[in-house]
Chains A and B, each alone.
Chain A
Amino acid sequence: MGGFSALVLTTLLSLGAFAAAKGSEGKGRYYFRQTCKDCHTKGAKGGEVTPLTKTMAQWSSYFVKGRHTSAEPLAKLMNEQQLLDIQTFLVKHAADSLQPETCGK
């Protein structure tokens, strides 16, 4: 258990630095809604995907490894910066992220 949380913390910290360097959460949210949501809604061909679908570590490795194998390669859909923005957004709102609920928007 201790090892697991240490791993997550390390990932979180490194991502924090990484996100500050380049990715934009706000823009990532926009590209995610604009592009990904075409196929990734309930009933659509990609099935529903939200930031909660994966953990922070899973989202990080998903993009590092360049998954999305069953459809168009991600690099064909968006440029590198856009993918980085999307990754930043997904990690920040992942299933185990630090995003406490609040009132309203």
Chain B
Amino acid sequence: MSQKRYILVIDSRKCINCKACIVACRAENRVPLGHSRDRINEERRGSFPVLLATFEPEQCHHCENPSCVRVCPTGASHRRDDGIVLVTDDTCIGCRYCMVSCPYNARFFREDRGVVEKCSLCSHRLDRGELPACVQTCPSKVRACGDIADPESEVSRLLDKREYRVKNPQTGNAPQIYYLL
């Protein structure tokens, strides 16, 4: 079997800012109060009555060339062969270089344990064949998560069919969240 490579595809137009993904993540990953591993960026423009509001879910981009991994002095931040970027609690010393280096502000410092935490793409769920909590719970099914190495996967088909963009490609991080246009 060929090597899997997990990515996220997000159709922000369908996002209604309901926060289900954030709460599902809190429950699944016991995220400490006051923090979250995923977020919804809101943009509001215009003045009454000509108005615009957009919502864009964001979390760790699980970059192919992640700056957080490069700067980590202990190897706690690492990238699995299937593309998922993780932090190993035991070896994280809480220096927070990774937080500074992340172009997506996708990490936070967890005071109670002295470690840095972030979206794991629910690797534990993916490993047992389930979708990440945020993907599963979403009422409007904004996100798709799957194996880009498999041409038959939902994510591959979406990227074949639709235009898309990634955020801040100039960083050289090769981010792996694909936003459909």
Chains A, B in direct contact (C-beta < 8 Å): no
Q: CB within 8 Å of A: which residues of B? A: none
Q: CB within 8 Å of B: which residues of A? A: none
